[in-house]
Amino acid sequence: MNRLFYIIPLALFLFFAGLAGYMLTQEKAQTIPSQMIEEPLPEFELEPAFSGLPGVSKSDFVGGEPRLLNIWASWCLPCIAEAPHLERLNREGVEIIGIAVRDRPEAVADFLNRYGNPYSRIGSDNISSLMIEIGASGVPETYVIDAAGNIRYQHIGDVRAETVPVLLEQLEMAR
């Protein structure tokens, strides 16, 4: 009985240590598949984020060419890092519509003055309602929206140099 008292905790420890070691060696998914891919944007209408550009509604995504929807905020450090890459996409003829999340008009204007403005319009999502409805987990996130107003691709995180060709390819596939 006394020997069993020592063996059971040791066996349990070895079992959990082995389980932890096994789990650490398994391949992990690097992306989270969005449940909103191929789903239409919800109906929405957002006020302008500042007086320099118009607000945004679902109708801005219907018709014409596929567009990018970029969820961002002036207080977001990765949004600063992605700014030059969004500018590059804009120079290549991509229309980018922005949604500023939980931001003040003066902060949005200051951000755009400092880091550039690739957006054709910017809506203000003060309570993150649209962000939540389309399945965004945070800022920044970028979506490819086709001409029918459907979400075709979601990029989580900041747009980087290596992301630009992926977004251009997804836009082409959304035509």
pLDDT in tens, 122-169: 999 999 999 999 999 899 999 999 999 999 999 999 999 999 999 999
Whether the Cβ atoms of residue 136 and residue 71 lie closer than 8 Å to each other:
yes
Q: How much is the pLDDT for 128?
A: 95
**Vertex 91: Cα angle to 33 and 108 (nearest 5):** 70
**Vertex 28: Cα angle to 27 and 33 (nearest 5):** 135
pTM value? 0.82
Beta bridge partners of 151: 145
Residue 30 has pLDDT above 60, yes or no: no
Does domain 45-173 bear CATH number 3.30.70.260? no
Mean pLDDT rounded to a whole number for the chain: 92
Give residue-wise pLDDT tens across range 90-133. Answer: 999 999 999 999 999 999 999 999 999 999 999 999 999 999 99
Domain residue spans of the chain: 45-173
Which structure tokens are listed for 14? 């070895």
Q: How much is the pLDDT for 19?
A: 81
Please give the average per-residue pLDDT across 54-77, as a whole number.
Answer: 97
